Structure 1
Amino acid sequence: MGVNEKKRLSPELREKQIVSEAIAFFADQGFGGQTRELAKRIGITQPLLYRYFASKDALIERVYQDVFVGRWKEDWQAILTERAIPLRERLTRVYREYARVIDNREWVRILILAGMKGESLNRRYLDQVRDKLIEPLCREMRHEAELPSPEDVPLSSQELDIAWSFHGTFIYRGIRKWIYNVPVEGDADAAVDNAISVFLDGFPKTLPRILSGSAAG
């Protein structure tokens, strides 16, 4: 009898078990972790694991789909760009929810460990953030400040850096908690609201200077 073949599951449940355990395993070990060890941790043979996922890359792709794609809310961009709603309210709705999604040990650790290992899934996720949150946010800030649209004056690297820094505030809160093991105190919604206030106070004052510098250049 195999490692744990006395415990037979339906194919659907076995696949879910493998994915769930793989998420926890890669969050602990990074993507350098061996599938042999993962199979042992699950209590199945390595050949059985490969019956469900033909390669380690296929399993990593499924982990990416579950952890990042599956938890992404497609309406975030729509909310962020709905100009009938005040910008502060839009940011609050999007980032309170985003902060709740990423306040997760596996999400944070897989993102960081994937980046350290050079896995493409990290780049793919950040590309999605840039396309669906960062660039739309910069566009909305231009509109709020009554400045030229990106069609007239392309977004500058400085604008994008400011938006990334704002966005990264929420990820860093998770890094402190799940990477550094530093207690994160205080109400999460209040932390989001404070970050939004700092951003909205500073970005509109900085934008005209950035754009005037771009025009002068």
Structure 2
Amino acid sequence: MANKESSIAYENLNRRIFPGVGEYGIPRLEAETFDGNCEFVGFNYARGNCRNPEKKAVHFFIDDYQFDALWRNVDRYVDKLRQFQYVLTPDFSTYTDFPKAIQIYNHYRKHWVGAYLQEYGCRVIPTISWSTPESYAWCFDGEPEGGTLAVSSVGCMNSAEKRSLFLSGYAAMVERLHPETIIFYGSVPEECKGNIVRVRAFSDKFKEAVCDGW
């Protein structure tokens, strides 16, 4: 059995234990407004020598391994992330073939990091993700109503089943959270409604560059 000191340090609980909401004690995030144009950059770029961070927003629509360091050592990145105009919450994966326990754990980690960054003055925009309709029982816990939310359709449009699951979750998000603005990373299906700010995925920019002869 772990001793008391090591158990307290487990999973960032030595840094902060937030009051939780819902069955799984998910940290609650405060609503944020999106009030201007800015460039969106991935965390893998932002953690380096990124110029003019005050004009950029950091997203996590990249492979999980590229931002797991934020969870493992969040204090290392707080001061850097505070320089950016906005920081989205890390998009830890909730794939449909993941065990439910892992999906909920990733939802918790996303909210813990978001709440921690908000405490340190970052303007945090919640990233919303879901898996199957069963996840609706917990995947919106801790999310603010109104304000700005972010979603990504990358990898969700390459089959009829994935598309259907994405559209169902998107509709549930709008119904439950009533977002003022939705930052949408990737292609936007015509069924998705709302005040949408479109952000082209890196893969789309790359394809466009290739077509232009880059």
Above 0.5 in TM-score? no
TM-score between the two structures when normalised by the length of structure 1:
0.28
Q: Which structure's residues are more often strand, by fraction? A: 2
Q: Which structure's residues are more often helix, by fraction? A: 1
TM-score between the two structures when normalised by the length of structure 2:
0.29
Who wins on radius of gyration, i.e. which is larger? 1
Which structure has more relative contact order (CA 8 Å, sep 6+)? It is 1
